[in-house]
Amino acid sequence: MIVKMSPTASPSERGAVSEALAQAGFEVQPVALPFGSFLAGLGPGEAFAGKLRAMAGVEWVQPGESTPALGSLEANPGRSTVAIGSCLVGGPSLAVMAGPCSVEGPTQVQTCARFVSAYGATVLRGGAYKPRTSPYSFQGFGREALEMLQEAGRAAGLPVVSEVMDPGDVEAMAPFVDCFQLGARSMQNFPLLKAVGRTGKAALLKRGPSAGLAEFLLAAEYLLLQGNPNVILCERGIKTFETATRNTLDLNAVPILKARTHLPVVVDPSHGTGRRAAVIPMARAAVAAGADGLMVEVHPDPDRALSDGDQSLTLAEFRQLMDEIGPVAEAVGRSLAAPRQGLRQTGSGRRGLGWGAAG
């Protein structure tokens, strides 16, 4: 259960509520978030909620254990924004996170970074630790890749996001990334969620392939309960019977989540469809549905990508994507961040060289 204290609650009122919870057998955990000060108790509290609501200094009580609390619009009727370095996710302009599935080498990631930055991306993505269905598949270049990613991001003026898989890696990764990505397979990796939550860093939580939206929101509670408000939800496709797409990108999640949570919601049409040809139309659709941003895979030479080549956009396709989502964003009252003109010229200049030559 979660108790939201009034902003004007006195320390003694707070103490009284905390004691009442403890006496009722709850293990009490204070949670301070930008949108309020909370007391969390483990377990269901329906029987106890009435008494708490009557106590001085109590603003709101969510007694259920299976109902999103800290992420709900009841806990924060506003809209949260999350900063990933210079990029504000959830504000008027769309966040565009772009980059390769895997960081494969300095030239690849730098080429990508410069290009996507030039055409309006606001965050650089790139995988260092890759969760792969098979142990015989490429597993990512790890620590080395993180360094390349960070350097490429700095050169292109972009903050970076990369996936973390092991709670034991969180501390070591923190200096390299502006945002931790929690992959779809890790949505219910609770030790990992807690470890990332504790860093206070931005966390991009991807929806699990079999997670209902209620479960998705409850996974976000694990992060918020650590006192970390910097949680971004990412729809990336669910598992269905349909085989024409790799996953079924569930854009319904955007309006449904927006009606329940104050957290920003972004959409990944690359994993969500797994088909290059569907990425741009579904990116437009995501923006029209009200998403706060996009995450897309971009590779200078998708056919030679070490992972996810089928769904990665070429540089030219990324440019087309940005060209096409701009008017849609405007149509729904959003905007794109201003592209970086200086870099764009560089990017344009290099386009002729291609990825092979650059490598």
Contact 112, 317 (CB under 8 A): no
Please give the single-letter amino acid code of residue 218: L
Round to whole Å and give the CA distance between 306 and 287.
29
* Eight-class DSSP state of 310: G
Name the minimum Å distance from CB 341 to a second copy. Answer: 23
165 binds a second copy (CB under 8 A): yes
Across the beta sheet with 58-62, what order do the strands follow?
28-33, 36-41, 2-5, 58-62
Contacts (CB under 8 A) with a second copy, residues 67-126: 69
Residue for token digits 């890749």? 145
138 binds a second copy (CB under 8 A): yes
Name the minimum Å distance from CB 287 to a second copy. Answer: 7
6 binds a second copy (CB under 8 A): no
Size of site (CB under 8 A) for a second copy? 82
Contacts (CB under 8 A) with a second copy, residues 198-217: 208-210, 212-215
Q: Which is nearer to a second copy, 23 or 134 (CB)?
A: 134
* Eight-class DSSP state of 167: G
Give the number of other Cβ atoms within 10 Å of residue 180's Cβ: 26
Contact 193, 222 (CB under 8 A): yes
Name the minimum Å distance from CB 241 to a second copy. Answer: 5
256 binds a second copy (CB under 8 A): yes
Name the minimum Å distance from CB 72 to a second copy. Answer: 13
Q: Which is nearer to a second copy, 82 or 267 (CB)?
A: 267
Which residues touch 58 (CB under 8 Å, ≥6 apart)? 3, 4, 5, 6, 9, 13, 17, 52
Round to whole Å and give the CA distance between 144 and 147.
5
| Selection from 14, 42, 15, 16 nearest residue 28 by Cα | 42
Name the minimum Å distance from CB 196 to a second copy. Answer: 13
Name the minimum Å distance from CB 272 to a second copy. Answer: 8
Round to whole Å and give the CA distance between 24 and 11.
20
The window from 12-20, 86-94, 102-110, 274-282 that contacts a second copy (CB under 8 A) reads: 274-282
Name the minimum Å distance from CB 325 to a second copy. Answer: 9
Q: Which of 32, 47, 136, 352 binds a second copy (CB under 8 A)?
A: 136
Q: Which of 30, 43, 92, 342 binds a second copy (CB under 8 A)?
A: 43
Q: Which is nearer to a second copy, 235 or 301 (CB)?
A: 235
314 binds a second copy (CB under 8 A): no
